[in-house]
Amino acid sequence: MTTPSLPDRGQRTDATTVRVQVVNELGLHLRAAARFVETAARWPCRVVVGTVGPVVDGKSLLALSSLLARQGTLLTITCSGKQHAPAADALRELVAQGFRSGSDST
């Protein structure tokens, strides 16, 4: 299994990187990770997510779960390719809202 990597600084790329803190009391638990993956899947771009270690595929539930991100963890989300900017904004908003969509209480 290969770990996705961020583009080298020397490469020209169409990418947006955002950093957002996990505010959800339960952290990036399975249901929250599923919402993240669902949201990421709506966009045609590549999504990678990391904390202080390696980055993982943001469209993989198993990979996201491996981050073990607790409340207070700072996530770095990089979206590259088509529609990277709106994808990054949507994912940042989802995390900032505690993975809530609409009137959820998760």
Which residue in the list 7, 17, 23, 29 is annotated as catalytic? 29
Q: Number of C-alpha atoms within 13 angstroms, CB side, residue 14?
A: 10
User: Is 84 considered catalytic here?
Assistant: no
DSSP 13-73: --EEEEEEE---TT-S-HHHHHHHHHHHHTSSSEEEEESSS-EEETT-HHHHHTT-PPTTP
Give catalytic residue positions: 29
